[in-house]
Structures are given as C-alpha cells and as structure tokens.
Amino acid sequence: MFIGHFAPAFVAAAVSPRSPRLGTLFVAGQLVDWGFFALALVGVEKLRVDPSASVMVPLDLYHMPYTHSLIGTALWALACLLVVALGQRNLYAGVLAGLVVLSHWGLDWLVHVPDLTIDGDPPKLGLGLWNFPLVAMPLELLLTGGAFAFYVRRTRGPIGPPLVLLTVMLALQAANWFGPHPREAGAFLSLQALFAFAVLTGLAAWVGENRWFQKRGGLAFGDA
C-alpha cells in the first residue's frame, strides 16, 4: 500500500480544530516507511527483488523488525505522539498523530504477503491482497478517495491545492502500479521512495496551510 497510508492522515486532519496540520499527518502516515527506507540505505533493514514475492510487488521485504513489526510500529507511533504533543503543546494532536502512525501496520497487514511480524520474529503475517490486484487496487483508491472527500467536506478553503495534491498522489500511485519494476533493491530504490514521500508531504503541508477546520453550521477554525 502506498497512497492508502495517507487516508488516515486526511481523516485525522479533519476531525477537530485541534488536529495537527495535514503535512504533519502525512509524515505520520508514512513514518514507518520513512524509517524503513532510511534503514535500508545503511543496511539495517533489508529487501531484495524477487518477482515471485507477489503479483503486484516484486520485492521480498525479508528483514524489517524495527519498522514493520507491530511492536516496532507502536514505538514509532509513541515517538511521534511525544514529538507532536510536546512540539504543539497539545496531547490530543499527539494522540491523533500516533494513531495515524499505528494505522500503517494494519493497512500493511491487508495487502502484504506474510512478511510482517509482531516482534521481529516469526510467525510472519499478512493477508496478501497484493496477490489480488482487482481487490487491492480498488481498495486503495476507495480508502484514499473517501478520506480525501471527508477532508475536503470538513475543511474550508480553496479547492485548487487539494486537487493538485490528489492528482500527484494518483500519478505516483499509477507509476508504482504500472511503471517498470526495479531491477535491484539498491540505494536508488530507497532514495526514490523517500523522494516520493517528501514531494507528497510538501504538497500536503501547502494544502494544510490553505484550509481550515469547519464545524457543522459552517463556522471555520484555524489550525491548532
């Protein structure tokens, strides 16, 4: 899952005027993968190209105990909670950001072939929807589209920036699905992923600066 991980970010950004800004929540949505590809660059966590790994993703993610174990993800979520809560002096915002980080493991469990763990050791878990593109693709689009619509409906501001963000998200997802598969799992692959996350986070920060929470009845509130 790629852009589907940003669905909880859209929802969290729109539930309260005390929510973190959208850019912060986009970091939270992919924080586990930021960590994974950064650690892969220095050889701490590992992946390799394997066309037989799954129908949609030709990567064997065979060693990622610090980011994609449930306990590891929970620790990343706790760290995010503390940083946001202390940085914004807002425990509510910190909890929302932490929950967005934690959602990453559950969404990955839906699509990953068994390569996730509880504590880094077997058993390995994953429902494996990557082997069923006609299920996995619509699921990701519905999650993202529904969350985006919720965000736009619950916030107020110019529609242009959100539409630019959504267009870039869909373009990157299409490239991920239909573009050429990597030949090797080297530094370029990790840097490419980190660059995509950075582009989307920058656009999300721009969107968040131009939209405000709107309560029922039409009153708008600035970001907390």
Residue count of the chain, please give it: 224
Half-sphere exposure of 224 (CA within 13 A, CB side): 22
Q: What is the pLDDT of residue 224?
A: 37
Report the candidate in 77, 179, 74, 169 with the shortest Cα–Cα distance to residue 116: 74
- For 199, the 3-state DSSP assignment is helix
* Cβ atoms of residues 113 and 50 within 8 Å: no
CA-CA distance, 206 to 200, in Å (whole number)? Answer: 10
pLDDT of residue 1: 85
Query: Quick one: CA torsion of 212, 218, 221, 222, rounded to 10 degrees?
Result: 30
Interstrand relation of 220-221 and 155-156 (parallel, antiparallel or unpaired): unpaired
Maximum distance among all Cα pairs of the chain, rounded to whole angstroms: 54
- Element housing 212 (H / E): strand 212-214
Tokens matching residue 45: 């966590």
Give the per-residue pLDDT at 118: 98
Q: pTM, whole model, 2 decimals?
A: 0.94
State residue 215's pLDDT score: 62
Q: How far is Cα of residue 151 from the mean position of the Cα atoms in its chain?
A: 16
Distance (Å, whole) CA 137 – CA 115: 20
Q: Is the peptide bond before 182 cis (omega within 30 degrees of 0)?
A: no
10-residue mean pLDDT series, the chain (224 residues) = 96 96 98 98 97 96 98 98 97 98 98 98 97 98 98 96 98 96 94 97 97 65 47
CA 209 to chain centre: 20
Cα–Cα nearest to 4, from 130, 118, 94: 130
SS (H, E, C) 5-39: HHHHHHHHHCCCCCCCCHHHHHHHHCHHHHHHHHH
- What integer pLDDT is reported at residue 223 of this predicted model? 43
